[in-house]
Structure 1
Amino acid sequence: MRILAIDVGSNCLDWLMRCQQWGHQVRWYDKPRPDGTDRHAGEGLVPKIRDYDELRRKWLGWADLIYTPDNVSYLEMLEPFRRIGYPIYGCNLAAVEWELDREIGQKVMEECGMRIIPGKTFRDYDSAIAYVKKEGKAFVSKPSGDGERAMSYVANSAADMVYMLGRWNKIDKYRRAAKQDGFILQEKIDGIEMAVGGFFGPDGWSRGWVENWENKKLMNGDLGVNTGEMGTTVRVVRQSKLADEVLKPATEHLKKIGYVGYVDVNCMIPTDGKGPFPLEWTMRDGWPIRHNLTALIEGDPAQWMKDKLDGRDTLHIRMDEVCISVLMALPDFPYSKITNKELCGIPIYGAEDMEHLHFSEVMLGTAPREVNGKVVDLPGPVTAGDYVLIATGTGETITGARRSAYSAIKKVKIPNSPFYRTDIGVGRLKKQLPDLQRMGYAKGLSY
């Protein structure tokens, strides 16, 4: 099969490498960095396309499967091709609104009969500040659109929220983002955070519900700044109470918009037993959760995706097995303001275990390596950015999966202070699991 990936941030290098191992021909277009420079991830590992016009002119028609691992770019360009039957697996224009326009996403949830958190949309901070002062409550702020993720904030009090809104109001790019895309303030709901996802296509949902728990903060104990995600605990199950409540009700809406791909809903589950509050849609693959799923999917990594486009469920995934993923990054992640020149070419040692390791911003390069007691310059994996690789581990229990993932990542050595969290799968999940199971969620999951 001929496979084309149209990426926006070096997400799917690992998947493409595995497709190559299965004998597929692959091509990768990886959107340039914000400063206009090329991304070097994958150089020497998979064939890359550099020219955007050539991508449209030549490679779209070449591919038997076109994979879009994100939903922030190129959807408008791809939509006409999608409508005339090009084999595009991933988010479309209708679905992206569910995720990026918070107001639309909440409306869809309400139409599906879900329990909605009260909220209000704003496009300027002064009005939002006045609203919070009047209500006198703690709120959660979430941006619409794909910009300024720093505007996602969970306040501890009304005063806390007023301060953050005032702070953002002093920063030009935040004011512009608020005016252009808006943001929503929702009441802060106490409860347990848990998500569930699934693969959807013309034939409906694939077998297996992806119950998952993200760790978004940079540091152990959920301290520090928000990142995309530092690691995830995943378990694919045949029956899921949470899927019954927040995924299955969306079936007809998803069919109506012709969606093909992964859908995930993050929820807050209060302990009052009245059901979850869905927080947001994720209408795309998540990272590194996609690496968790790669570790659990059996067989050809791409054929089941092509089959899903054709309305056939051929996904074979290991059920009831726990998978832990752990991100290894370099400074200055998650800010990513250091230049390519400073982050490219750092040698990666001890990364031979490709069953458990998944490359992201990695390329082939020459660096000092030790052979038979001598240091010589040899080709091998080197860094191509600050989001370096992900380790995954599986097991019948969370403890077993953690042992496997951390055993793999501890073998990797990189100069220049690599870091990762050491508490993925424990911490708050361990404390909250008994309450979840008392309410009928996460059945069978154990330590």
Structure 2
Amino acid sequence: MKKHSSLPKNFLFISRWGEILDLAYAIKNEGNDVKLYIADKDSKEIGDGFVQKVKDWKKHIDWADILIFDYTGYGEECEQLRAAGKIVFGGSTYTDLLELDRNFGQNELKKHKIKTLPFKEFLSFQDAITYVEKNPDAYVIKPCGETQELKQLLFVGSDDEGLDVIRVLKAYDKSWGDDFGNFQLQKKVKGVEISVSAFFNGKEFLKPINVTFEHKKLFPKELGVSTGEMGSSMFWVNRSPIFDATLKKFEQTLIKHNFLGHIDINCIVNGNGIYPLEFTSRFGYPQVFIQRAGITEPIGEMLYKVASGQTFDISTKKGFQVGAFIVVPPFPYEDKKTFELFSKDAVVVFKKDMKEGIHPMHLKKVNDEWLITGNIGIALLVTGTGITMKDAQKMMNNRIGSVIVNNCYYRTDIGDRWLEDSDRLWSWGLL
């Protein structure tokens, strides 16, 4: 029997790397019972002391009122659990494929009559090098399958002859050889990178829609290596031409595949049109925590309503939300020695007792102290909100100033792109 909606509930989180800690902790603080399972053994300590941890999530299925999966790849389990009558927030085998198999994702876009950028798939670096030499242009190297988790391997070329791409392909050939798996070369297009996302309740997309600008490079002004993410800025809207041209067209397909969760598509847009790049058919990180900063209803309640197929408008703040990761060595690389030397068990020190807008990432709690754990060094996400982007940035920066993390680094320009991006988006009629 479904519980009455506003009573405390039992939330079971099934996590790949413990990324979801902040959400689990927030939902516990809203008065619910929470259990967290983490699959990756190097991440096992994440969340200790914050929430109750379990070693085998399957033993707690009957206990749970709702199961929340935080990553792609669990689609089959989600489908089986839903078929057994459980309330599940997560993917499906179809949405797993959308994200994990780039070819499949691109073909589905074409099938839904959405224009895509030309790309070619390769299994060998040598073939790819020959291709670029014969077809000089600016390209993006995109790993597929398992390798795409290593975000620093994504390479965006800037040379119009493709010389930088050739150099990187040669380096990958030396260091990876045939172990790299398949990858794509996609023609690079200049424009604004923007993503639109929404929660889907099995029947329709819920409003408002979220519009996010990601900041992927390690250093300010988009310098340095790709990290996957250093921070994002966002806002919520009821209507978006970019959403209408992309995700909206998948509504019937998502109904057919009984998807109940969150889905995001990132695009490059310019005066010529909207070009979808790839899907994220799960929570985005740190997107979901910044979304939480802008959602004004209890987040546990909201996720339960989505997963149980209810139709409602999500209560959100007006204006903007921003968030920046505070990271420590060896981020964005994995290097056990460096992590143990500089970062393992380092304490997060709070100058004030205020923890509002400070989201625990790869942390554990010991004697009420927040300590860094895991192995890649993402300590905190700090968020700010405001009616203007400047206001949101100011709030975030004040909060960053209220914590001390030894050897930490973070981007100081999250949200700055908005000023220029918004002008371009307005002039192209895309806001």
> What TM-score, normalized by structure 1, do the two folds share?
0.88
Deviations 1:314-339 (A, max 9, x none): 45332542000011111111113236
* 1:215 Cα deviation after fit: 0.2
RMSD: 1.8
Runs (4+) off by over 3 Å? 74-79, 148-151, 339-344
2:3 paired residue number:
none
3-state secondary structure, aligned to 2:335: coil
2:426 aligns with one of 419, 428, 437: 437
Is the alpha carbon distance of 1:314 and 1:146 closer, same or farther for their aligned partners in structure 2, counting shifts above 3 Å? farther
Answer yes or no: is 1:279 the counterpart of 2:280.
no
* 1:47 Cα deviation after fit: 0.5
| Aligned pairs for 1:151-300 within 5 A | 151-157=153-159, 158-172=162-176, 175-178=178-181, 182-272=182-272, 275-300=273-298
> In 1, are the aligned partners of 2:75 and 2:90 still within 8 Å (CA)?
no
Instruction: Give the AA of the match of 2:362.
Output: E
| Aligned pairs for 1:5-404 within 5 A | 5-33=13-41, 37=42, 39-50=44-55, 52=56, 55-56=57-58, 58-72=59-73, 74-147=74-147, 148-157=150-159, 158-172=162-176, 175-178=178-181, 182-272=182-272, 275-314=273-312, 316-338=314-336, 341-342=340-341, 343-350=343-350, 352-366=353-367, 379-385=368-374, 386-404=377-395
Q: Which moved more, 1:106-115 or 1:295-304?
A: 295-304
Instruction: Give the AA of the match of 1:151.
Output: L
Unaligned runs of 5+ in 2: 1-8
> In 2, are the aligned partners of 1:393 and 1:402 still within 8 Å (CA)?
yes
Q: In structure 2, how many angstroms separate the alpha carbons of the residues matched to 1:77 and 1:176?
A: 29
* 1:251 Cα deviation after fit: 0.9
Q: Which moved more, 1:22-31 or 1:153-162?
A: 153-162
Instruction: Give the AA of the match of 2:37.
Output: Y
Answer yes or no: is 1:405 the counterpart of 2:406.
no
Instruction: Give the AA of the match of 1:279.
Output: L
Tell me how many residue pairs correspond in the alignment: 414
3-state secondary structure, aligned to 2:366: strand
Q: In structure 2, how many angstroms separate the alpha carbons of the residues matched to 1:67 and 1:281?
A: 19
Is the alpha carbon distance of 1:176 and 1:76 closer, same or farther for their aligned partners in structure 2, counting shifts above 3 Å? farther
* 1:365 Cα deviation after fit: 2.1
Unaligned runs of 5+ in 1: 367-378, 443-447
Q: In structure 2, how many angstroms separate the alpha carbons of the residues matched to 1:38 and 1:390?
A: 17
Instruction: Give the AA of the match of 1:390.
Output: L
Q: In structure 1, how many angstroms separate the alpha carbons of the residues matched to 2:315 and 2:384?
A: 15
> In 1, are the aligned partners of 2:140 and 2:154 still within 8 Å (CA)?
yes
Q: In structure 1, how many angstroms separate the alpha carbons of the residues matched to 2:178 and 2:79?
A: 31
3-state secondary structure, aligned to 2:379: strand
3-state secondary structure, aligned to 1:170: helix
3-state secondary structure, aligned to 2:145: coil
1:376 paired residue number:
none
* 1:7 Cα deviation after fit: 0.7
> In 1, are the aligned partners of 2:152 and 2:227 still within 8 Å (CA)?
no
1:414 paired residue number:
405
Q: In structure 1, how many angstroms separate the alpha carbons of the residues matched to 2:253 and 2:224?
A: 37
Deviations 1:190-221 (A, max 9, x none): 21111111111222011111011000101011
Q: In structure 1, how many angstroms separate the alpha carbons of the residues matched to 2:153 and 2:82?
A: 33
> In 2, are the aligned partners of 1:139 and 1:188 still within 8 Å (CA)?
yes
Instruction: Give the AA of the match of 2:117.
Output: I
Is the alpha carbon distance of 1:67 and 1:319 closer, same or farther for their aligned partners in structure 2, counting shifts above 3 Å? same
Deviations 1:111-143 (A, max 9, x none): 111111011111111211111111111211111
3-state secondary structure, aligned to 1:120: strand
Q: In structure 2, how many angstroms separate the alpha carbons of the residues matched to 1:277 and 1:32?
A: 34
> In 2, are the aligned partners of 1:329 and 1:420 still within 8 Å (CA)?
yes
> In 2, are the aligned partners of 1:70 and 1:284 still within 8 Å (CA)?
yes
3-state secondary structure, aligned to 1:317: coil
Is the alpha carbon distance of 1:38 and 1:159 closer, same or farther for their aligned partners in structure 2, counting shifts above 3 Å? closer
3-state secondary structure, aligned to 2:169: helix
> In 2, are the aligned partners of 1:238 and 1:319 still within 8 Å (CA)?
no
Q: In structure 1, how many angstroms separate the alpha carbons of the residues matched to 2:347 and 2:164?
A: 43
Q: In structure 1, how many angstroms separate the alpha carbons of the residues matched to 2:316 and 2:78?
A: 33
> In 2, are the aligned partners of 1:304 and 1:314 still within 8 Å (CA)?
no
3-state secondary structure, aligned to 1:248: helix
Identity %: 27
Q: In structure 2, how many angstroms separate the alpha carbons of the residues matched to 1:10 and 1:230?
A: 18
Instruction: Give the AA of the match of 1:432.
Output: D
3-state secondary structure, aligned to 2:215: strand
> In 1, are the aligned partners of 2:344 and 2:372 still within 8 Å (CA)?
yes
> In 1, are the aligned partners of 2:295 and 2:317 still within 8 Å (CA)?
no
Instruction: Give the AA of the match of 2:166.
Output: V
Instruction: Give the AA of the match of 1:171.
Output: S
3-state secondary structure, aligned to 1:331: coil
Q: In structure 2, how many angstroms separate the alpha carbons of the residues matched to 1:125 and 1:163?
A: 11
